[in-house]
């Protein structure tokens, strides 16, 4: 459902929201004083992060911290030592000539206040090597040339593509995982990855596991409104005012808040929205983590498109916790338009007119954990359209863990173009558990299917699932497994080609009973 009425009163802070991916290798230049064309004194630090690498290609993230006077327009330059090339970029205009690269601001992120970080990213190619670039400069002055800090040297990762044996879902061995920053995992899909998390701002809230806890888009993890003021709201107007801007804030929802005619309420960056006690309820509307504001709607229509990615600020660092959602005329929670670092945890979802938790349109680094879905129809969507690959490829990385699907129907989740790590969940559903859509990539381990019509539902032939031996189910409780003439591929279609996620997590055995989940559960309101 795309057309909707929405509460939009957000105050904009250009340059406060950033972009790109999952941290793998970081090189940080020194800190240096520099002068802009307007002779403003600036102190800069540039952090270069290789977020992923494969033979002949890579993705990188660049974050520029301005610790001096405000910048009004910026150009970052550097030298590629091995002749690397850039094939696509976001949040900057990038040109490369003879190894000399330059990245220039793109309007909305031109202004960088003192103490703020601006980021951009790109996908590139390499041939013989992919060494860390050298000689970073901002507006013509080298970072580190006269600064007090010293640069750090890091090695590039050694990453091998997965090797796969397709032998059916019951032959996958349980992963073994080390708990250090270097993780080696062994299963039918094998991968050895060295991961270094960058130290750019943020940090994680207690208990956070999965993609929302990783670095990227100029920040390190998700902590919501930590460090900001705490307010308690009891009415829709109070809630709308408290979540509208991007200032850090913990918003405590007390009692039941009912809608005022708008289907979705926009949520700004750096917010923790947490229910008080066991009765906090959002009734008659949903929460939309979405930076596509009123001026963007007036200029470009109701939703963001790939061509508009660099024209508006993106929402990041949001926690939605310990709330019951009822009767939304649209979705209960929507994460869209390149929003990132979002944690949806310990909520109870009752039926909405559309989905319960929809994540789409280039959003990334999200964790959905310990929620209870009671009789919901369309529980969780990752990627909204088979025709949206241009916007979604390389994004939509989401962890779903220890959720309780309690008599729900479909989409647990349904995936298009994204990577979903699904572990520790408990399924008692009337239709399918996992929807295999266009270019879906799902790694599922340690889940228990108590009952379902089918474990997988095929929507596209170009979808891939690893289903490890740690998942537990009884074919007698899978309706399609008992239909005449059906094979296992008709109700559990796993090719075991998807590698594990790039983080340490408590894999554990499949839960024998529903996990602790939902609003009001033990520990659900802990901040």
121 - beta bridge partners? 61, 90
Catalytic residue of the set 411, 414, 448, 480? 411
Count the alpha carbons within 13 Å of 283 in the hemisphere toward its beta carbon.
Answer: 10
452 - beta bridge partners? 478
Catalytic residue list contains 191: no
SS3 annotation, 2-65: CCCCEECCCCCCCCCCCCCCCCCEEEECCCEEEECCCCCEEEEEEEEEEEEEECCEEEEEEEEE
- Distance from C-alpha of 508 to C-alpha of 382, rounded to nearest angstrom: 25
| Distant-in-sequence, close-in-space partners of 394: CB < 8 Å, separation ≥ 6 | 21, 59, 123
- Distance from C-alpha of 491 to C-alpha of 498, rounded to nearest angstrom: 19
Residue 340 backbone dihedrals phi, psi, to 5 degrees: -150, 160
- Distance from C-alpha of 410 to C-alpha of 425, rounded to nearest angstrom: 14
CB 44 within 8 A of CB 158: no
Give the number of other CB atoms < 10 A from CB of residue 374. 17
Catalytic residues: 411
């Amino acid at each position: 459902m795309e057309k909707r009425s929405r509460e939009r009163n957000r105050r904009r802070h250009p340059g406060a929201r950033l972009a790109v991916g999952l941290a793998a290798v970081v090189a940080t230049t020194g800190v240096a004083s520099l002068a802009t064309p307007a002779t403003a004194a600036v102190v800069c630090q540039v952090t270069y992060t290789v977020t992923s690498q494969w033979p002949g290609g890579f993705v990188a993230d660049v974050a520029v911290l301005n610790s001096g006077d405000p910048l009004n327009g910026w150009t970052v330059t550097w030298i590629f030592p091995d002749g690397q090339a850039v094939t696509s970029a976001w949040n900057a205009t990038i040109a490369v000539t003879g190894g000399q690269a330059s990245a220039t601001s793109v309007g909305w992120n031109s202004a960088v206040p003192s103490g703020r970080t601006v980021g951009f990213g790109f996908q590139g190619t390499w041939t013989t090597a992919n060494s860390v670039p050298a000689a970073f400069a901002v507006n013509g002055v080298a970072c580190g040339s006269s600064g007090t800090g010293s640069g750090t040297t890091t090695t590039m990762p050694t990453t091998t593509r997965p090797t796969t044996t397709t032998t059916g879902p019951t032959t996958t061995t349980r992963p073994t995982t080390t708990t250090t920053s270097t993780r080696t995992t062994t299963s039918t899909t094998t991968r050895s990855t060295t991961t270094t998390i960058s130290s750019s701002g943020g940090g994680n809230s207690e208990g956070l596991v999965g993609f929302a806890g990783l670095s990227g888009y100029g920040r390190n993890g998700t902590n919501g409104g930590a460090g900001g003021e705490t307010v308690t709201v009891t009415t829709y107007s109070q809630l709308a005012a408290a979540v509208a801007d991007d200032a850090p804030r913990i918003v405590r929802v007390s009692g039941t808040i009912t809608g005022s005619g708008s289907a979705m309420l926009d949520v700004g960056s750096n917010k923790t929205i947490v229910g008080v006690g066991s009765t906090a309820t959002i009734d008659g509307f949903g929460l939309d983590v979405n930076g596509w504001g009123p001026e963007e709607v007036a200029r470009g229509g109701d939703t963001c498109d790939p061509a508009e990615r660099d024209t508006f600020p993106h929402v990041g660092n949001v926690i939605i916790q310990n709330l019951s959602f009822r009767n939304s005329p649209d979705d209960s929670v929507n994460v869209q338009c390149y929003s990132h670092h979002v944690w949806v945890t310990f909520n109870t979802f009752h039926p909405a007119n559309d989905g319960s938790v929809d994540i789409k349109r280039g959003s990334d680094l999200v964790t959905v954990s310990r929620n209870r879905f009671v009789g919901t129809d369309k529980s969780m969507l990752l990627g909204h359209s088979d025709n949206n690959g241009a916007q979604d490829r390389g994004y939509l990385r989401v962890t779903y863990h220890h959720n309780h699907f309690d008599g729900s129907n479909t989409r647990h989740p349904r995936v298009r173009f994204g990577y979903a790590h699904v572990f520790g969940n408990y399924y008692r559903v009337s239709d399918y558990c996992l929807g295999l859509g266009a270019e879906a990539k799902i790694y599922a381990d340690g889940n228990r299917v108590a009952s379902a019509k089918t474990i997988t539902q095929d929507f596209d032939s170009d979808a891939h699932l690893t289903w490890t031996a740690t998942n537990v189910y009884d074919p007698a409780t899978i309706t399609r497994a008992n239909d005449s003439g059906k094979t296992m591929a008709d109700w559990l279609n796993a090719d075991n080609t998807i590698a594990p996620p790039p983080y340490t997590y408590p894999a554990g055995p499949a839960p024998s009973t529903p996990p602790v989940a939902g609003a009001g559960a033990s520990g659900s309101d802990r901040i």
